[in-house]
């Protein structure tokens, strides 16, 4: 699967398709197109292959939900350019010599979209919630290796015994049962993102089922998603700590189930970016308008 993009050379750093699987993408410059460039409008329309199922990180198992979540929520670290980990809500971290303890120093200026401060207690709450069998989190098993996670997930221990603790408001300490080479690389995943406790408490089982019943701490907030529609919009979050490096004000998603339909919509100017597959890639290469190169690493932001 490849990606085509309308705007050659007009994008700020790390702006491109939120594609979870696109390690290598192709950029298509639509020469002579009358549509204003994204750098001028600060808004784009992109395709996505399926509906958004949830904005609850504990329940996100599909790629569309994961893609949107990584732009409306931010975890301890984020996946940056060239798939390199970069600071997120954690501005720095250390690992003990035995590899069993990670200590994260959190930013003091991180906030939820409603202006409430975001701190270490939010991560403790969210992680305990996700391993609690009562939550029935679809990805709870990914906590395996964090102290007591397996025992909690199987109902043998209380969620409060999970190996995560707040040392004050802005220091988060995580204890592992054994060294995990992949631990840091899992932190951008949906199941490790924080959830705003007051919002979860308010909406209960309805949390994350539409745009209004979700808390946001990432570069964007979500608008116009009622839980079932085929189009929704990301809007720049002005409470985001790194908003100066968020280069687009608005991103509209449109569900497009086939790549052929996506290509037709791209050619007619309805989409600024879409995916290609099979012969479509070959045909666009023959037209010599596709250019190979990296696009974005999963986020509509720059560092």
SS (H, E, C) the chain: CEEEECCCCCCCCCCCCCCCCCCCEEEECCCCCCCCCHHHHCEEEEEECCCCCCCCCCCCCCHHHHHHHHHHCCCCEEECHHHCEEECCEEEEEECCCCCEEEEEECCCCECCCCCECCHHHHHHHHHHHHCCCCCCCCHHHHECECCHHHHHCCCCCHHHCCEEECCCCEEEEEECCCCCCHHHHCCCHHHCCCCHHHHHHHHHHCCCCHHHCCCCCCEEEECCCCCCCEEEEEECCCCCCHHHCCCCEEEEEECCCHHHHHHHHHCCCCCEEEECCHHHHHHHHCCCEEEECCCCCCCCCC
pLDDT in tens, 200-228: 999 999 999 999 999 999 999 999 999 99
What percent of the chain has a predicted confidence (pLDDT) above 90?
71
Domain with CATH 3.40.190.10 in the chain: 1-49+219-303
Predicted confidence band at 83 (pLDDT cuts at 50, 70, 90)? confident
pLDDT in tens, 35-55: 444 445 589 999 999 999 999
Superfamily of domain 74-215: Dipeptide-binding Protein; Domain 1 (3.90.76.10)
Res 28 pLDDT > 70:
no
Domain with CATH 3.90.76.10 in the chain: 74-215
**11 vs 222, higher pLDDT:** 222
* Topology of the domain comprising 1-49+219-303: D-Maltodextrin-Binding Protein; domain 2 (3.40.190)
> Would the pTM of this model clear 0.85, i.e. be above it?
no
Predicted confidence band at 191 (pLDDT cuts at 50, 70, 90)? very high
């Amino acid at each position: 699967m490849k990606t085509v993009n309308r705007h050659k050379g007009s994008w700020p750093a790390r702006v491109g398709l939120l594609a979870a699987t696109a390690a290598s993408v192709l950029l298509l410059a639509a020469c002579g197109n009358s549509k204003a460039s994204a750098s001028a409008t600060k808004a784009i329309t992109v395709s996505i292959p399926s509906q958004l199922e949830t904005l609850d990180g504990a329940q996100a198992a599909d790629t569309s939900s994961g893609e949107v979540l990584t732009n409306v929520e931010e975890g301890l670290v984020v996946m940056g350019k060239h798939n390199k980990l970069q600071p997120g809500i954690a501005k720095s971290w250390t690992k003990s010599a035995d590899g069993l303890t990670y200590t994260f120093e959190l930013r003091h200026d991180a906030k939820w979209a409603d202006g409430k401060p975001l701190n270490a207690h939010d991560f403790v709450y969210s992680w305990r919630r996700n391993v609690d069998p009562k939550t029935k989190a679809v990805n709870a098993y990914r906590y395996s290796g964090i102290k007591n996670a397996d025992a909690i997930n199987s109902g043998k221990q209380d969620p409060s015994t999970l190996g995560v603790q707040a040392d004050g408001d802005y220091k988060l300490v995580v204890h592992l049962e054994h060294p995990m080479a992949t631990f840091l690389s899992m932190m951008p995943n949906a199941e490790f993102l924080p959830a705003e406790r007051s919002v979860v408490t308010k909406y209960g089982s309805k949390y994350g089922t539409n745009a209004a019943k979700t808390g946001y701490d990432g570069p964007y907030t979500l608008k116009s998603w009622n839980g079932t529609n085929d189009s929704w919009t990301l809007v720049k979050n002005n409470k985001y700590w790194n908003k100066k490096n968020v280069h687009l004000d608005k991103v509209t998603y449109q569900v497009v189930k086939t790549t052929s339909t996506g290509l037709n919509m791209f050619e007619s100017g309805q989409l600024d970016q879409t995916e290609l597959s099979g012969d479509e890639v070959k045909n666009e290469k023959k037209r010599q308008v596709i250019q190979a190169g990296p696009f974005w690493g999963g986020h509509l932001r720059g560092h």
